[in-house]
């Protein structure tokens, strides 16, 4: 059964008829990792995997939610002290609270939802959930909030109710996604452009290691704090715009670890711009070379990779894949791979075989289909 039918049938079974259906996607990111909270550039696109929710106002001041995939119910009120016990419900509760803080008169509603973004794969399942509810509640309660602010509702939900001090990339990509297009977003000015992405002769594919190292809380937030400390020493709001010369000049005022973190971020900013230029010329070899550089920067300097993902990137390199790197926040999840059409089948077979020999299971393979953002399903 399609996800949409499943969600709507479950809603009818539990709450009755009359729900409105909404959907929001997860995302990929071609390049520009851990740059968003540094005021830098990112290059994401929405994917054909996401969250679908059925929602109906219930005229009370309570939310009754059912997470189909977890077979879990939650009921909560809409005041700050009503935070539910179920951790999955924090995302919905947080969105309600953040909408209220922006002046929207959120009332009670009933909802069921389901998703097919692999959890912990670095494809932003949580942003898909937040964007679905932010978009829906804005319509259902006549919030009048623009799309950028809807993305910020999701980001603030992560900050204030889920403990992750994330940047804006995931929620932005989920809300603004457009089929066939990547988006280059400047996270300082919030200016962005759609970039039609249809590399002739290449495919984008994700290999999911199915390894999840704990991301929530400290390791991600620690990276962000390192960057903020260095920016402060440099007398800047963000690391964005800093040069290696400036960084070297303050080397003895910062820790060796913070130095390496900042070195990665400064390099990554350059790489995103290089990739944009290369894409305009159809130069996929440069795009791929930068992807590999990002991988090893994230692994050695930023230290957000893991053995399994380093292994996948190495296998890709050995198979002659054009570009491969860990995608998303890190600490497990996927690599994103830019592969020539004629190499594709052999690469996938080889990666599966070698990963399985070493780790006892195959990586999951997700061909990338760049898709639309948050929407109401008619
Ligand atoms: C997570 C965060 C994003 C971004 C990426 C890394 O997905 O939610 O804001 O920082 O990690 O690029």
Residue 242 contacts residue 39 (beta carbons within 8 Å):
no
State pLDDT tens for residues 64-97.
Answer: 999 999 999 999 999 999 999 999 999 999 999 9
Q: Give the position, in ligand 1's atom list, of the atom nearest the Cα of 33.
A: 12
**Domain 2-196+371-377, classified CATH 3.30.230.10, yes or no:** yes
Using CB distances shorter than 6 Å, the residues near ligand 1 are 33-34, 36-37, 124, 166-167, 169-170, 328-329
Indicate the pLDDT class of residue 111, thresholds 50, 70 and 90. very high
* Residue nearest (by alpha carbon) to ligand 1 atom 10: 34
What pLDDT is attached to residue 337? 98
State pLDDT tens for residues 26-76.
Answer: 999 999 999 999 999 999 999 999 999 999 999 999 999 999 999 999 999
| Domain coordinates in residue numbering, the chain | 2-196+371-377, 202-367
CATH number of this structure's domain 202-367: 3.30.70.890
What pLDDT is attached to residue 168? 98
What pLDDT is attached to residue 261? 98
State pLDDT tens for residues 196-236.
Answer: 999 999 999 999 999 876 655 579 999 999 999 999 999 99
Please tell me the distance between residue 34's alpha carbon and the centre of ligand 1 in angstroms. Answer: 6
Residue 330 is given by DSSP the state -
The partner residues of 47 in beta bridges, in order of sequence, read: 370
Residues 31 and 288: their CA atoms lie apart, in Å, by: 10
What pLDDT is attached to residue 213? 66
What pLDDT is attached to residue 276? 93
Please tell me the distance between residue 165's alpha carbon and the centre of ligand 1 in angstroms. Answer: 9
Residue found by looking up tokens 């409105």 in the block: 20
Please tell me the distance between residue 373's alpha carbon and the centre of ligand 1 in angstroms. Answer: 18
* Residue nearest (by alpha carbon) to ligand 1 atom 11: 329
Which residue out of 27, 34, 42 has the highest number of ligand 1 atoms within 8 Å of its CB and is therefore the one to mutate?
A: 34
Please tell me the distance between residue 185's alpha carbon and the centre of ligand 1 in angstroms. Answer: 13
What pLDDT is attached to residue 119? 86
| Helices within the chain (DSSP H only) | 3-15, 89-101, 125-140, 147-157, 169-176, 218-233, 244-249, 256-280, 284-296, 307-318, 341-359
Tokens of 142: 């006549």
Residues with catalytic roles = 170
State pLDDT tens for residues 259-281.
Answer: 999 999 999 999 999 999 999 99
């Amino acid at each position: 059964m399609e996800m949409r039918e499943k969600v709507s049938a479950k809603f009818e079974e539990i709450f009755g008829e009359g729900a409105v259906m909404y959907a929001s996607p997860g995302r990929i990111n071609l390049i520009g990792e851990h740059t968003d909270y540094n005021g830098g550039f990112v290059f994401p696109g929405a994917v054909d995997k996401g969250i679908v929710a059925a929602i109906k106002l219930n005229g009370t001041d309570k939310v009754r939610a059912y997470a189909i995939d977890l077979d879990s119910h939650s009921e909560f009120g809409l005041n700050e002290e009503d935070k539910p016990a179920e951790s999955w419900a924090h995302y919905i509760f947080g969105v309600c609270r953040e909408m209220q803080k922006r002046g929207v008169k959120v009332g009670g509603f009933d909802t069921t939802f389901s998703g097919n973004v692999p959890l912990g794969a670095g494809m932003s399942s949580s942003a898909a959930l937040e964007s679905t509810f932010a978009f829906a509640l804005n319509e259902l309660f006549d919030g009048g909030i623009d799309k950028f602010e809807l993305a910020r509702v999701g980001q603030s939900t992560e900050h204030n109710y889920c403990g992750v001090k994330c940047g804006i990339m995931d929620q932005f990509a989920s809300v603004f996604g457009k089929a066939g297009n990547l988006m280059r977003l400047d996270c300082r000015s919030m200016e962005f452009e759609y970039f039609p992405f249809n590399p002739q002769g290449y495919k984008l594919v994700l290999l999911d290691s199915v390894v999840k190292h704990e991301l929530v809380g400290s390791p991600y937030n620690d990276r962000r704090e390192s960057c903020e400390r260095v920016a402060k020493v440099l007398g800047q709001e963000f690391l964005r715009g800093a040069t290696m010369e400036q960084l070297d000049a303050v080397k003895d005022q910062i820790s060796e670890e913070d130095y390496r973190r900042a070195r990665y971020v400064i390099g990554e900013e350059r790489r995103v711009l290089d990739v944009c230029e290369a894409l305009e010329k159809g130069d996929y070899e440069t795009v791929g070379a930068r992807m590999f550089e990002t991988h090893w920067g994230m692994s050695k300097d930023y230290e957000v990779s893991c053995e399994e993902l380093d292994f996948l990137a190495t296998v890709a390199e050995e198979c002659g894949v054009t570009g491969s790197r860990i995608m998303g926040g890190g600490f497990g999840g996927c690599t994103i791979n830019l592969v020539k059409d004629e190499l594709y089948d052999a690469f996938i077979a080889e990666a599966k075989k070698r990963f399985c020999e070493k780790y006892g299971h195959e990586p999951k393979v997700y061909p990338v289909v760049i898709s639309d953002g948050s929407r109401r399903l008619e």
